[in-house]
Amino acid sequence: MKFFQTTYRVIYGDVDSMKMAYYANYLRWFEIGRSELIRHLGLPYAEIEAMGYLLPVTEAFCKYSKSARYDDILLINTGVGFVRKASMRFDYRILNQENDLLVQGYTVHACLDQEGKLVRIPESVFALLGKWE
Amino acid sequence: MKFFQTTYRVIYGDVDSMKMAYYANYLRWFEIGRSELIRHLGLPYAEIEAMGYLLPVTEAFCKYSKSARYDDILLINTGVGFVRKASMRFDYRILNQENDLLVQGYTVHACLDQEGKLVRIPESVFALLGKWE
Amino acid sequence: MKFFQTTYRVIYGDVDSMKMAYYANYLRWFEIGRSELIRHLGLPYAEIEAMGYLLPVTEAFCKYSKSARYDDILLINTGVGFVRKASMRFDYRILNQENDLLVQGYTVHACLDQEGKLVRIPESVFALLGKWE
Amino acid sequence: MKFFQTTYRVIYGDVDSMKMAYYANYLRWFEIGRSELIRHLGLPYAEIEAMGYLLPVTEAFCKYSKSARYDDILLINTGVGFVRKASMRFDYRILNQENDLLVQGYTVHACLDQEGKLVRIPESVFALLGKWE
C-alpha cells in the first residue's frame, strides 16, 4: 500500500495520566492524515463539501501497539484501502520518530449528498482516490 | 450571587500526565454549567437558537486554584454576572466533592442574529436571566 | 448480552460543523460506559489502579449508524464481551433518547502491571466481570 | 512585544456546529504556542520537567474577536508577558492566514517542584525567558 505521510507533535492536552496519549486522540490524528492525503491529491475536503458531498465515517478501527507520549513527533501514514461506488476506506499507520509502530487502523466513509442520502462518489474524487489505491 | 449547581464525573480523557485535568477542559465544564442553568430557567439553548439567536463567547477567564483529578465528581456552580442589552456574563465556581474550590471564572457572550450581526437580547431571555442575576 | 446503562448529555464541545457529534467522542463515551459499569460492579477503576494494575485499550472499534446531535441525552449501554486470563472486551451500544441506535462498538483491554508487563487479571476483577459476561 | 510564530491547521474535530472553532480549543493552541516558543529558546518543556519543575497554569484569559474555521491555518504568536521569581506569563495572538486577529489572550504559570511546592524559577529558564520578555 502507498502511504502519504504527515506529522503531528503530541501536546499535554493529548495525553492522559498514564503518560500516554488518550486512545480517542488517534481518531483525530487519522482525520489529519486523510485530510492531508486528499489535499495532496489536489482535492481538499472543503472543496468536496462545496461540491455538495459529505463523507461521514461509518466505521473506525484502531489497534494500539505502543503508546504515543508527550512531545513525540508522530508520523501519520495514510493510504486508500478501497474506493467503491458509494464508500471508501482509508488505512492508517502511526509511528513515532524512532519508527516504532504505535497504531494501525482504518476508517470507512459513506458518500452522502446534502440531504443525507447515499449517493455515488463524484467522478473526480473517485479517479483521484483510485489512482492512490 | 445565586448559583445553579450541576455535576460532572472526570474521566481519563480529561486528565493529563500530571494526573490533573487539562486546563482547557474547564471551559467545557463551564459550557455544561451555563447550559444546565438556562435549561433550568426554562429556556434550553437549542430553543434560543431556534428563535434565531446565537450567543457566542467573546471572553473567557479561568483562575485555577486546585486541580480536578481522575474520577472526581465536580460541582459546577453557575450564576449570572450581568445581563445587558446585547451581552451577558456567566460566572462559574467549580468545586470537588470535598468542597475544595478548584476553579473560578467567567464567560462573556454577545447576542447575534443568524447573519452574525449584534442584536438586542430577546425579551424572554433577558427577563429570565435578569431574575437570576 | 447484559448491558449496564448510563447517560451523557451532548454539549457544543462534542459536535462538529455537520451538527453531528465528532466521531472520536464516542470513544470518550465508551470510557464513561465501562467506568460506570465497573463502578456498579463494586470495583471503580481507580481501585484497580491502586491494586497495581492497568487496563490499557489494545483495540477499539465503532460502527456509526446515526449521529448524536447537540443536546441529545445519550443512553450508553455497556456489556462484557469476554474476560480471559490477561485480556477482556467491553461491548457498547449507544442510543439516543428516542431509542435510535447510534453507535455500536467494543474495546479490548490488556492487563498490565506497573512495569507494563502483561499479567493475569486479578482474581477479584476476573470474578466480577465473569459474572456479568 | 516580541512574538514567536508557529502554525496549526484546524480540523473537523476542532469546530462546533456554528462552523467555528470551539472556544476551549484556543487554550490547546496556546499550549502549542508556548511549547514551541520555549523549544525555540533551547529548553523544551520535557527538559524543564526532567529538571524537577512543573509550570502549571494558574490563570488563563481569551478575548475572541473572530472565529477560526475549518481548514484555516492558524498563526499562533507567543510572547513572554513577564517572568518573576516564581511565576511567568505568556501572551498570545492567534491570526488566520488572511492576517485577521482571531483571539488574544494570556496564561499565567506558577513554578512548582515535584512535591507541588511553589519554588523559584530555575536560573537557566529565568534567563532564557528574560531575554525574550
Nearest Cα to Cα of residue B27 among B12, B46, B14, B43: B14
Question: What is the nearest CA distance from C16 to chain A, expressed in angstroms?
Answer: 11
- Kindly report, residue by residue over A45-92, the tens digit of the pLDDT: 999 999 999 999 999 999 999 999 999 999 999 999 999 999 999 999
Q: Is it the case that residue B81 has pLDDT exceeding 80?
A: yes
C-alpha span between D67 and D17 (Å, rounded): 12
Residues D49-84, buried b or exposed e (16+ Cβ, 10 A)? Answer: beeebbbbbbbbbbbbeebbbbbbebbbbbbbeebe
Counted domains in chain C = 1
Report, as an integer, the average pLDDT of A88-117. Answer: 97
The dihedrals phi and psi of C61, each to the nearest 5 degrees, come to: -140, 140
Nearest Cα to Cα of residue C56 among B71, A65, B1: A65
Subunit contact B13:A24, Cβ cutoff 8 A: yes
C-alpha span between B5 and B75 (Å, rounded): 6
For residues B99 and B52, the answer to whether their CB atoms sit within 8 Å is no
Question: What is the nearest CA distance from A102 to chain B, expressed in angstroms?
Answer: 19
Residues pairing with A53 in the sheet: A113
Subunit contact A28:C24, Cβ cutoff 8 A: yes
For residues A88 and A63, the answer to whether their CB atoms sit within 8 Å is no
- Kindly report, residue by residue over A10-30, the tens digit of the pLDDT: 999 999 877 789 999 999 999
Query: What is residue B24's three-state secondary structure?
Result: coil
C-alpha span between C74 and A73 (Å, rounded): 35
Closest CB from C12, C13, C31 relative to B11? C31
Distances (CA, A) of B10 to B40, B103, C93, D28, D100: 23, 14, 21, 18, 36
Determine contact: D21 vs chain C, CB below 8 A. no
D25-40 helix and D123-132 helix, angle to the nearest 10 degrees: 100
For residues D61 and B60, the answer to whether their CB atoms sit within 8 Å is yes
C-alpha span between B57 and D22 (Å, rounded): 10
Residue D92 has a pLDDT of 98
Q: Which helix (H) or strand (E) holds B101?
A: strand B101-110
Query: Which residue ranges of chain C lie beneath pLDDT 70?
Result: none
C-alpha span between D75 and C115 (Å, rounded): 41
Q: Any idea what the Cα angle at residue D119 is, between residues D113 and D123, rounded to 5°?
A: 100
Q: Which helix (H) or strand (E) holds A47?
A: helix A45-50
How many CB atoms within 10 Å of residue A101? Answer: 14
Over its length of 133 residues, how does chain D's per-residue pLDDT go in tens digits? 899 999 999 999 999 877 789 999 999 999 999 999 999 999 999 999 999 999 999 999 999 999 999 999 999 999 999 999 999 999 999 999 999 999 999 999 999 999 999 999 999 999 999 988 8
List the CATH number of the domain containing A124.
3.10.129.10
Question: What is the nearest CA distance from D67 to chain B, expressed in angstroms?
Answer: 10
Subunit contact A46:D71, Cβ cutoff 8 A: yes
C-alpha span between B107 and B90 (Å, rounded): 5
Query: What is residue C77's three-state secondary structure?
Result: strand
Query: What is residue B32's three-state secondary structure?
Result: helix
Determine contact: D70 vs chain C, CB below 8 A. yes
User: What does pLDDT average to over chain D?
Assistant: 95
**Searching chain B, which residue's CA lies closest to the CA of residue A20?**
B17
C-alpha span between C56 and C34 (Å, rounded): 12
For residues C24 and C103, the answer to whether their CB atoms sit within 8 Å is no
For residues C48 and C94, the answer to whether their CB atoms sit within 8 Å is no
Interface test with A, best of C23, C32, C66 (most A CBs within 10 A): C23
Please state the ipTM of this predicted complex. 0.95
Residue A86 has a pLDDT of 96
Place of cell 472499534: C61
For residues B97 and B132, the answer to whether their CB atoms sit within 8 Å is no
Q: Which helix (H) or strand (E) holds A108?
A: strand A101-110
List helix spans (H) across C8-71.
Answer: 25-40, 45-50
Interface test with D, best of B34, B54, B57, B103 (most D CBs within 10 A): B57
Cα-only R_g, chain D: 15
Determine contact: D13 vs chain A, CB below 8 A. yes
- Kindly report, residue by residue over B39-67, the tens digit of the pLDDT: 999 999 999 999 999 999 999 999 999 99
C-alpha span between B4 and B27 (Å, rounded): 17
Question: What is the nearest CA distance from A13 to chain D, expressed in angstroms?
Answer: 6
Q: Which helix (H) or strand (E) holds B8?
A: strand B4-9
Residue D76 has a pLDDT of 98
- Domain enclosing residue D126, as ranges: 4-132
Residue B97 banded pLDDT, cuts 50, 70, 90: very high
Interface test with B, best of C7, C8, C11 (most B CBs within 10 A): C11
Query: What is residue B44's three-state secondary structure?
Result: coil
Determine contact: D42 vs chain C, CB below 8 A. no
Closest CB from A18, A20, A60 relative to C62? A60
C-alpha span between B22 and D57 (Å, rounded): 10
Determine contact: D11 vs chain C, CB below 8 A. no
**Sequence-distant (≥ 6) Cβ neighbours of residue A59 within 8 angstroms:** A106, A107, A108, C61, C62, C63, C64
Q: Is it the case that residue B18 has pLDDT exceeding 90?
A: no
Residue B25 banded pLDDT, cuts 50, 70, 90: very high
Determine contact: B70 vs chain A, CB below 8 A. yes
Determine contact: C22 vs chain D, CB below 8 A. yes
Q: Which grid coordinates belong to C27?
A: 470513544
Subunit contact C71:B13, Cβ cutoff 8 A: no
Determine contact: C58 vs chain A, CB below 8 A. yes
Q: Which grid coordinates belong to A117?
A: 442520502
